[in-house]
Structure 1
Amino acid sequence: IFSQDIPSDVVVEVGKTDFSLHKFMLVAKSGYIRKMIIESKEPDLTRIDLSDIPGGAAIFEKTAKFCYGVNFEITVHNIAPLICAAEFLEMTDEYCEGNLAGRTEEFLTQVALMSFSASLVVLKTCEDLLPMAHELNIVQRCVDVVSSKACNEANFPSRSPTNWWTEELTILNVDSFKKVISSMKLRGAKVHTLSSALITYTEKSLQDLVRDHSGNKKSSDSNDVGVKKQQRNVLEVIVSLLPSEKATLPVNFVCCLLRTAIFLNASTSCKNDLEKRISVILEHITVDDLLVVSFNYDGEKLFDLESVRQIISGFVEKEKSIAVFNGGDFKEVSSTAMQRVAKTVDAYLSEIATYSELSISKFNGIANLIPKAARKVDDDLYRAIDIYLKVNNILAYLLF
């Protein structure tokens, strides 16, 4: 590829790859290499280490081709590392008119940043080029285009299915995804638009933990600490991005997120956030939703039920506050919503009563959260108690 007519006089080392090249071809376009040679203490520098160049050997080969006037293809996949390499090597118009820095900037502006998909690919490649890609403003320019075009696509769909763009966003790591969603929020994206993107990304990035909303998918059973740490980070970022508006996400999706948070031992603030989201809409929660939060992924073992207790307690406190505000007695909370929750909780107790991990103190702790006035009849609670006593042979113990 490079000139063989004149013997090479310098070897450029990039990682484990060596390039036999010619100084005069390199210094004509690279200010960085020119300075290295001029400032070298060796009278005849024959070896240059450029292992730190962005993009590694593959990208350096393209910059070398540019120095030799050899054509190569600039694409959305290599434009970001080429821009960073041109900056690293100081291949600017200061040293040669029409240098690589200008050529790559032209491609970025006129080609790569003209479409959603192309900008997204460039943003993805930037993930391996930080912090330089951020410092050169490539990341922000891509984020601006992707978020702008995503908002336009959400409002004025151009193809089917209309949420195609949410699937494309899943190629990003969670930090890049956060930048895009945050930018969409600043652009005034609708809540349901953001929710759609968040759900799609969650189900793809945490697919072994939150694959659909049934709560029946089994985890990968991975004990890899590194994997769990990465998954925990993804989850906590996603939760931080959830819309604050009430009931903007499917109830069972939020319950699946909470179960995942418990499984991954997520931060207290992350779990509290999810518990509060479920608590404020508890009257719309089904028994199956609460069971999602309560069991591990194979459905054979109960989690610590503290989250369920916090959810119910939060709802009851809210109802008490409303009762007091309306001039009622907080001890006699019996709103329609509270009565509905009471039935759900009693039915839930019947479901978990058969599990040996459920201590009598935990059973009573959950049952007693519901104000007495909220239970017009106690049939469901008695049924739960009966199941619990029979399963644990407590009646036999009391009788004999």
Structure 2
Amino acid sequence: MVWEQSVPSPNFSTSFANRIFSDVAGDITIVVDGESFLLHKFPLVARSGKIRKLVADTKNASLSKLELPNFPGGPEAFELAAKFCYGLNFEITTTNVAPLRCAAEYLEMTEDCREENLVERTQTYLTQVVCQSLDKSVEVLSACESLLPLADEIGIPDTCISAIARNACREQLVSGLSRLDCNSGSLELRDRCLEWWVEDLSVLGIEFYHRVISAMGQSGVRTDSIVASLMHYAQTSLKGIGKPQIWNPARANPSIGENGQKAIVESLVTLFPTEKSSSIPLNFLFGMTRVAIMVDATLACRLELERRIAYRLEMALLDDLLIPSLQTGYSLFDVDTIHRILVHFLQRIEEEEENEECGYESEGMGSPSHGSLLKVGRLVDAYLAEIAPDPYLSLPKFIAMIEVLPDYARVIDDGLYRAIDIYLKVSFLVITPYSSAIPLRSSITYFASI
């Protein structure tokens, strides 16, 4: 059966239906979202259980007007449903099948009224055409976003989501590219592994996207493909966020758009693969942390990002750590976030060392050697030197950053002394409410004791 062809009703010839629809005066007016349709009762009552009931229940035998409030798909969907009742030709396509299926449900155009009615026609199209294609399933699923909650009640999104996950797995198998091929091959080969459905999913709203990725994970879609999709979705939906606010602590209240972006950030973080060794790039995690701060994401969301960063902190760059602060009257950099990341890093070191003592191998990158601590120690010293010129950086925060790492994280203290020297020079030269004489004497006393 070729579904993209027209689907006339079997009870009316096309020419007869066209003539009735256009030439003969109607006997009932249907109002949908303010738009009126002058139609005939007989073809509508023959196929729509809802209209049949409305006509039968009225006490006015000469009823000439019906209003259909909250009609799914609006006047366009009703017009197609009316054409089906009249037997007029039109095409069922991926563009109109979702609103048409919802319209058929609303109008109760079931087999109880007439065989091969619109509910069955549209449902068959979904099963035989849409569900066989990943692209078509995504297109129909996207159309359902304006048809909620009815679309969910009749199961269109669930049908499309299952089809997307199933087809994603199928295409991975058909491609003949094994996990080993994708992980160990060239960059070009990895791109071929990851690009085939990543961009398609970016058109979905976050609620449907979340359901799709969850279904993909349960059906066995490769983790690296899911990570690639998450990154692309974040880059597409969060593009340009917070640019006017960076380095400007005087933020206005979050707008509706920012609240929507907050939901996106929090939802994406919950979709991250559970494996600690997952291949989420470190710079992407830092970028998501910056965005999470800007949109005021929940503490749980931010802590999850910070823990994941801490797992591979020795691979971070200095620029990654330079997260701007958005709080009024505080340091230019978000020192608190970096401090928490360092605490998580030390907890990870401690846990993995305990596993070593018990004879267990660590997950992911293996046992953290002293070299990992030394790398982080050098990174922190460079970070301290970078934030030291900030006149708004309080002494307690600066000291906390110095003391968070153990002594054996540094072989030499040259980097630390350099940062302290910069901090003291700025404290002497810049007089602010945050660098008065008393904290200055305290800082000299403390640093002299190091």
TM-score normalized with structure 1 length: 0.88
- 2:226 is the counterpart of 1:194: yes
For residues 154 and 209 of structure 1, what CA distance do their matches in structure 2 show?
34
Q: Greater CA deviation, 101-110 or 77-86?
A: 101-110
Alignment RMSD: 2.9
Aligned residue in 1 for 2:448: none
For residues 387 and 264 of structure 2, what CA distance do their matches in structure 1 show?
30
Aligned residue in 1 for 2:48: 30
Of residues 391, 394, 406, the one that matches 1:356 is: 391
Aligned residue in 1 for 2:210: 178
1:217-242 CA-to-partner distances (Å, cap 9, x unmatched) read: x9xx9965111110000000000000
Contact 2:168/2:221, CA 8 A, preserved across alignment: no
Name the SS of the counterpart of 2:220 in structure 1. Answer: coil
Name the SS of the counterpart of 2:31 in structure 1. Answer: strand
Of residues 361, 366, 371, the one that matches 1:336 is: 371
Instruction: Specify whether residues 279 and 25 from structure 1 end up closer, same or farther in structure 2 by C-alpha distance, changes over 3 A only.
Output: same
Name the SS of the counterpart of 1:91 in structure 2. Answer: coil
**What amino acid is aligned across from residue 243 of structure 1 in structure 2?**
P
- 2:154 is the counterpart of 1:136: yes
Aligned residue in 2 for 1:118: 136
Aligned residue in 2 for 1:393: 428
Contact 1:210/1:256, CA 8 A, preserved across alignment: no
> What is the Cα deviation at residue 302 of structure 1?
2.6
For residues 393 and 246 of structure 1, what CA distance do their matches in structure 2 show?
45
- Residues 1-400 of structure 1 mapped to structure 2, 5 A cutoff: 3-157=21-175, 161-162=192-193, 163-209=195-241, 225-247=255-277, 248-291=279-322, 293-294=323-324, 302-322=332-352, 335-393=370-428
1:348-395 CA-to-partner distances (Å, cap 9, x unmatched) read: 111111222321211111111011122111000011111122223269
**What amino acid is aligned across from residue 198 of structure 1 in structure 2?**
L
Contact 1:166/1:196, CA 8 A, preserved across alignment: yes
Structure 1 unaligned blocks of 5 or more = 328-332
Aligned residue in 1 for 2:186: none
1:241-281 CA-to-partner distances (Å, cap 9, x unmatched) read: 00122242000100111111111110011011111111121
1:184-221 CA-to-partner distances (Å, cap 9, x unmatched) read: 1111222212111111111111111399xxxx9x9xx9
Instruction: Specify whether residues 65 and 326 from structure 1 end up closer, same or farther in structure 2 by C-alpha distance, changes over 3 A only.
Output: closer
Contact 1:203/1:210, CA 8 A, preserved across alignment: no
For residues 321 and 103 of structure 1, what CA distance do their matches in structure 2 show?
59
Task: Figure out how many residues of one structure are paired with residues of the other and give that number.
Answer: 385
Structure 2 unaligned blocks of 5 or more = 1-17, 177-188, 358-367, 432-436, 442-450
Name the SS of the counterpart of 1:71 in structure 2. Answer: coil
Contact 2:331/2:393, CA 8 A, preserved across alignment: no
Aligned residue in 2 for 1:330: none
**What amino acid is aligned across from residue 272 of structure 1 in structure 2?**
L
Contact 1:25/1:67, CA 8 A, preserved across alignment: yes
For residues 131 and 342 of structure 2, what CA distance do their matches in structure 1 show?
49
TM-score normalized with structure 2 length: 0.79
For residues 273 and 395 of structure 2, what CA distance do their matches in structure 1 show?
38
**What amino acid is aligned across from residue 267 of structure 1 in structure 2?**
T
